[in-house]
A and B are shown apart, each in its own frame.
Chain A
Amino acid sequence: MNIFKFEFKRNLKSLIYWSLGTCATIVVFMALFPSMKDMGMQELVGSKLEALPPALLEIFNFSSITDFSKINDYMGYTFQYIAMAFGIYGVTLGVNSIIQEESEGTIEFLYSKPVSRSKILWSKILSIAVTFFAFSILVGLVTVLISLAVKPEDLETMTLVMDIKGMFIGMALLGYIFMAVGIVISTALKKGKAATSIGVASFFGTYILGIMGKLKEEFDFMLYLSPFDWFIPSNILKDGFEMKDVAIGLGIIIISVLAASIIYNKKDFN
């Protein structure tokens, strides 16, 4: 537990910054919601959206029935950007988990202690997983509070809370998938300089694949390569989870972590 605790302390700063940034964005988004109910705004947004080509609407996950005066539709749309933050924070935590210490040389400290490579890796994985869990819970709570403050009176509190819960489970899963991929990248990289960029690029790379999948029907297989598209908040709010996507996601997490373990147990310190 000593490595876990130490690592958690090291991650605390990033947890605070990411939580503050994400919560601030959510508060701003949700504070704008009451004005969306305003008829004038509804017409304005509605007419602007109608003017956009359908393909573009699909890229931004709008559907013909998106109605910003409904809190679920509004959240479904705005929270896709929060989902991106979840993916990027997840991959950043993962990709920096091992290589950062190697490139900074601090790993020499751990390597000279009576602890196996496996224990180092698993302690680090546990530490970033818990950090990310804390992030999800914190951001989730803030979302519930701000949403309750702006929700229409006729909407039941419990329904809203359960919807937010579903959306956050999806976003957390998305973050954990990218975290696991980040961990493999982190163990496979020899130099740490470009680690964060590679991690973020892997997120946006798959995101762009997802867009291509949405744009052309013959490319729709690409949606399978884009975890972002498995957990789009508006889809979760409307239809719940696709169990197939959840299963693939969990599979990726398990395979990635096992691969990371195999690579790391044989890795030379450069």
Chain B
Amino acid sequence: MKAIKIKNLTKNYGKNRGISNINLEINQGEIYGFIGPNGAGKSTTIKTLLNFLFPTSGSAEILGKDIVGESKEIKEYTSFVPSEVRYYSEFKVSDILKYAASFFNNYDREYIRELCDELEVELDKKMSELSLGNKKKVAIVQALINNPKVVILDEPTNGLDPLIQQKLFNILLKEKAKGKTIFLSSHNLSEVEKFCDRVAVIKDGEIVDILDLKNVNRNLGQRVRLKADNIDIKEIEKLAEEVKVIDKGIEFIYKGNINELIALLSKYNLEKLLIEEVKLEDAFMHYYQGEGK
């Protein structure tokens, strides 16, 4: 059984674009990233999955249960961290956590205490007194209160300082190790690259790409930038992709054997040479720049 299975999910609403024919399958135990520019439909997809919104057409299941008809049951084992945490501002953090716990029969008080300590959650403060990052920490703790099987996070690191970001991902990796599924939307491309098993790219309300990050680095190749007197561009073009002449030199993406590349380059009288791994972030940038794939 898939952790999340989305079939032709469409949501149109008002002037906003919504999402169109989304198809995704997320395996149990995966950390699955969901990226795309602002307004691409990430939050709409997540909110439809959680039945904050009703789908216009199509369907989806979380661990085999229908997102509309069985939403209540789904939330017994699925939890959510919103992008912008807007909990009851007049209440203390401890009240919010108690209220969250009151929806579940069993919860591990000790684990919640550990999480609060690890994330340095200030239990006695009112929600209104907290910064965006500190509110987010409360949202993360309350989302793990019911020992969920699926955790859905909408831009979880938004507002968190780098240290807490690291702590959050450590927590998520621990949860993953326990077999939990994590579905997160993000703008932070390097965190997606670092922690996710797979990633779906959404643009203009449609899924435009699904990448398996375990294999993706191999495919992306090396970015080579060099400056030399006697470059034979045609020779380079036979071996490389995206060959561009830049600022008295050339740049290209090389996916072949690195030794062969070095052998070729040794023929030139090099003035400058830079070889770097193409990061997924660079590939993602295409989607953000509106070029598509």
Contacts and interface: CB of A to CB of B under 8 A. Distances in A.
Contacts, number: 55
B9 to A, nearest CB: 14
B73 interface: yes
Contact of B13 (A2, A113, A268): A268
A111 B88 contact: no
B158 interface: no
B99 A269 contact: no
Interface residues of A, number: 17
B191 interface: no
Interface in B57-87: 71-76, 79-80, 82, 84, 86-87
B104 interface: yes
Nearest to B84: A105
Contacts of B47: 269
Interface residues of B, number: 29
A108 B86 contact: yes
A113 B146 CA distance: 10
Contacts of A109: 87-88, 96, 99-100, 142
B102 interface: yes
A109 B142 CA distance: 10
Contact of A105 (B73, B86, B99): B86
B50 interface: yes
A112 B80 contact: yes
B51 interface: yes
B80 A2 contact: no
B76 A111 contact: no
A169 B270 CA distance: 95
Nearest to B90: A10
A106 interface: yes
B75 A113 contact: yes
Interface string A91-121: 0000000000000111011011111100000
B284 interface: no
Nearest to A114: B75
B54 interface: yes
B50 A114 contact: no
14 contacts: A6-B99, A10-B88, A10-B90, A105-B82, A105-B84, A105-B86, A108-B52, A109-B142, A111-B50, A112-B82, A114-B72, A114-B75, A268-B53, A268-B54
Given A10-B88, A105-B82, 19 more contacts: A6-B99, A104-B86, A105-B86, A106-B86, A106-B87, A108-B80, A108-B86, A109-B87, A109-B88, A109-B99, A109-B142, A111-B51, A114-B104, A115-B75, A116-B72, A268-B13, A268-B53, A269-B47, A269-B52
